[in-house]
Structure 1
Amino acid sequence: MTQAQKRPWLVLAGLALGVTVTNGFARFSYGLILPAMQSDLGWNYAQAGWLNTANALGYIAGAILTMLMIGRYSATSLFSFGLVTTNLALLATGLSAELWWQTLWRILVGFFGALSFSTAGVLAAGLFPNDPRRNAMAIAIVFGTGGGLAIVLSGASLPLFLEHYGADHWPLAWVIIAAICLLFLPLCLWSAAKLKSPAPKRAEAAKPLPVSQIWAQLAGYAGFGLGYIVFLTFLSAWMTQQAASATFIAAVWILLGLCICMSPLVWRPILARHASGLPLAMILSCIALGSALPVLFPGNLSLLLAAVIFGLSVFMAPSAVTNFTRQNLPAHSWGAAISLFTVVFAVAQTLGPYAAGLLGDLAGDIGISLLGASGLLLLGALIALTQRPLPNHPVTGNTKPGKPE
């Protein structure tokens, strides 16, 4: 019996903490530090959005490289390398305020983070191989609890830290984040090593993916990439525009993170039961509602409700496509399929922050961008809803497309 079989929940914790680093701190702490950076450096919304677009450009490159390398190198190696280098890139982010320096390291944070984030799902899909419900829970915990923990920790500390010490202390915030991530590294690397995911055989890796049969799921995931990032990038900036206090901003982010951590419990039954695009469509609809609520119904109560709805859904989109992959494709295709989904998502999310920032500058209100993002998410949900289980998919053994689940 392997260590992953003896201690599956400890191994799962290590994978989840890896996502805490590469998907939580590396990508979403920026939204909390952004108001201080804007204040100290005099950035407009387009400049602020550009740095997340730069991060997304790096993410595209990392996702494409992962898709090319997953047939030659094990998921374990790619996960571990991406994790260590992401940590180093986070530290470098706090060393200079120059825009070119910030652009460089936001690109590299995205690039290295994609290597680790893409393969975390592949590794998690190998846990509890004979128990679909536990496997669905494991995948959901990796993406949900892993990412949510970073938002709880960031939300509880960064706004109050920056209010107390001043906006000019934002570089120190990045250094502190890097130090916290360093504490997580040993367990993360141990977990990846215990899973020992082998590189696929060349003959298996060469088989093409059935893209024509999964296009609706891919398109729905593209809608997720376009829409979700706007809320997480500009939430704090919009709340600051509405004269919200640092304490209330922190409370909203803590609530958001706690709901993300709890989201696996909410979605596990749906993810385990359905091999179609229905879970992704439901998740995108909830994210869209959460994005639009604070703008349509301004007020503190609306913001708290939006944090709950958005938080319970946002990190379940990667879980939905990972479960879809596991349920519909053979094991040797998981790495390539999840990498393809990640590339599509990465390309889509590149367009979101900068376009939303430009729209916010033109309108003089970033809330307009939140509404636009909500519309894109709903469009993605409608497309994902048309996705049916693949013929002969491994979970239910359907032999006809569209057979009821």
Structure 2
Amino acid sequence: MTISDTRARRPIITVLVVCQSSIGLIFGGIGLFLPLIRTDLGLTFTQAGTLAAASNLTYALMQVPSGYLADRFTPRRLFMIGLFGMNLLAVLFAVLDSYPLLLIDQALAGFFRALVFTPGMLLMTAQFPPGRRATAMGLYVVGGFSSNILLSAVGPLLVGPLGWRLLFALFAGFGLLSLGLYRFLAGPASGKPTSSTVRFRELPRLIRKRIVQLTGVIQFTRLAVAQGFTFWLPTYLVVDRGQSLATAGLVAAVASAISAPVNYLGGYLSDRINRPLLVIGGSLTVLTAGLALLTYVPGMLGVLAVVALISLAIQVYFGPLFALPLQVLGDRNAGLISGFGNFCANLGSFAFVYALGAVKDATGSFRAGYLSLAALCLLALLATRLIRPLLRPSPQPPA
């Protein structure tokens, strides 16, 4: 595939990003409106954290099966089923008022969200030449950040007159429209992929590979930090820093506005200079410093500076990290390898989204939670250093 082929596929690339945006609205909306949801339903901080944790747990458990099915069957079919289920559950979330039912709803949402992520990433990378893999993976998640910018900027203004329930129904409607647009642009479905020789029993052999283990440690850290920081940021600003929801939403919007372009640029830079470990290690170093400082800096100006610093690095290494094991092991089991990596990532998300809420309940502060994320980044830096001897040169991207 050439660069000109990629340009011809821009409508499909764009709609894949839009579909990812619809998922970002639903998942991001829970974090942004959590103070209101918690008050309306009478939830503790721990219970509020379990709404995200339940989704993250089933999402994590489904990563490897989703990756395997994407290798075995067509990613397109899984992608469309996942989008439909996720948006249907968003409608139900808008009408339920029982904590146990909301918990079940979010657990099922994690199941369907898993059918979107790895298959969608494979659909995106298929639109790019092999040398642009990290660029494609970075671009894929831009949709989630872009929708967070819009949500964080406009959501607090709309939630007053409309309420959080109606907003979730509107998010679901947008997602279903995006699904219909993808179905129209993608055209008729193709047959079963030729890589039907992929077997689930190959997973233990892959897990024993050192590159898979070490990138799994970094993946665990990546989403533990990304979700732990992003999910609780509005609540931290409202409860610990005394800011209004509108201010918290504005800060979250600025954070997403910073993260969205650097996410893509991180993948692009990694492909251009062919030094993924430099991008990963630099990002983790910045995150360690930012998370250690967040709860200590005085005043909102200091908080804004640290939030901006964290946002610069929080997902910039997404593309290079997913591309690393494929660079070493090849593409044959791309879905299975990527699924395992995202399984590790979502274990981290599940553990730390819950832990930060539990720590807040136990100590009255988010400080210990954010410091634990900084310590986790140090562990990931060690894993990054141990990967260096395992890499082999990857093909240079076409000019």
Common topology (TM > 0.5): yes
Asked if residue 20 in structure 1 is aligned to residue 41 in structure 2, the reply is no
Q: In the alignment, which residue of structure 1 is the partner of 2:353? A: 353
Q: In the alignment, which residue of structure 1 is the partner of 2:242? A: 243
Range with bigger deviation, 204-213 or 116-125: 204-213
Q: 1:26 to 1:200 in 2, by over 3 A?
A: farther
Deviation at 1:27, TM superposition (A): 2.5
Asked if residue 213 in structure 1 is aligned to residue 210 in structure 2, the reply is yes
Assess if the C-alpha contact under 8 Å between 2:263 and 2:317 holds in 1: no
Q: In the alignment, which residue of structure 1 is the partner of 2:196? A: 202
Q: 1:230 to 1:265 in 2, by over 3 A?
A: closer
Q: In the alignment, which residue of structure 2 is the partner of 1:399? A: none
- Alpha-carbon distance in structure 2 between the residues aligned to 1:52 and 1:173: 18
- Alpha-carbon distance in structure 2 between the residues aligned to 1:275 and 1:389: 13
- Alpha-carbon distance in structure 2 between the residues aligned to 1:232 and 1:191: 33
Q: How does 1:6-405 map to 2 (within 5 A)?
A: 7-22=8-23, 24-129=24-129, 132=131, 134-143=132-141, 145-162=142-159, 164-165=160-161, 169-190=163-184, 199-205=193-199, 208-209=205-206, 211-214=208-211, 215-241=213-239, 242-264=241-263, 266-272=265-271, 273-274=273-274, 277-388=277-388, 390=390, 394-395=394-395
- Alpha-carbon distance in structure 2 between the residues aligned to 1:170 and 1:178: 13
Q: In the alignment, which residue of structure 2 is the partner of 1:400? A: none
- Alpha-carbon distance in structure 2 between the residues aligned to 1:329 and 1:196: 27
Deviation at 1:227, TM superposition (A): 2.8
Assess if the C-alpha contact under 8 Å between 1:15 and 1:191 holds in 2: no
Q: 1:192 to 1:28 in 2, by over 3 A?
A: farther
Assess if the C-alpha contact under 8 Å between 2:54 and 2:106 holds in 1: yes
Deviation at 1:265, TM superposition (A): 5.1
Deviation at 1:110, TM superposition (A): 1.2
Amino acid at match of 2:215: Q
Deviations 1:73-104 (A, max 9, x none): 11121112111211111111111121011101
Amino acid at match of 1:94: A
Amino acid at match of 2:233: L
Range with bigger deviation, 247-256 or 3-12: 3-12
Assess if the C-alpha contact under 8 Å between 1:238 and 1:367 holds in 2: no
Amino acid at match of 1:230: G
Q: 1:353 to 1:211 in 2, by over 3 A?
A: same
Assess if the C-alpha contact under 8 Å between 1:64 and 1:339 holds in 2: yes
- Alpha-carbon distance in structure 1 between the residues aligned to 2:314 and 2:188: 29
Instruction: Report the count of equivalent residues.
Output: 389
Deviation at 1:247, TM superposition (A): 3.0
- Alpha-carbon distance in structure 2 between the residues aligned to 1:67 and 1:107: 19
- Alpha-carbon distance in structure 1 between the residues aligned to 2:377 and 2:269: 19
Q: 1:321 to 1:209 in 2, by over 3 A?
A: same
Q: 1:366 to 1:70 in 2, by over 3 A?
A: same
Range with bigger deviation, 4-13 or 149-158: 4-13
Deviation at 1:200, TM superposition (A): 4.5
Deviation at 1:360, TM superposition (A): 1.0
TM-score by length of 1: 0.86
Tell me, which stretches of 5 or more residues in structure 2 are unaligned? Answer: none
Assess if the C-alpha contact under 8 Å between 2:224 and 2:350 holds in 1: yes
Deviations 1:177-228 (A, max 9, x none): 2123233223334566589595353335575536423121111111223332
Q: 1:21 to 1:326 in 2, by over 3 A?
A: farther
What secondary structure, in the 3-state scheme, does the structure 1 residue paired with 2:332 have? helix
Range with bigger deviation, 83-92 or 328-337: 328-337
Deviation at 1:275, TM superposition (A): 5.8
Deviation at 1:155, TM superposition (A): 0.2
Amino acid at match of 2:255: L
- Alpha-carbon distance in structure 1 between the residues aligned to 2:70 and 2:76: 10
- Alpha-carbon distance in structure 1 between the residues aligned to 2:117 and 2:185: 14
Amino acid at match of 1:15: L
What secondary structure, in the 3-state scheme, does the structure 2 residue paired with 1:352 have? helix
What secondary structure, in the 3-state scheme, does the structure 2 residue paired with 1:312 have? helix
- Alpha-carbon distance in structure 2 between the residues aligned to 1:193 and 1:288: 45
Q: 1:274 to 1:394 in 2, by over 3 A?
A: closer
- Alpha-carbon distance in structure 1 between the residues aligned to 2:42 and 2:285: 35
TM-score by length of 2: 0.87
Q: 1:201 to 1:225 in 2, by over 3 A?
A: same
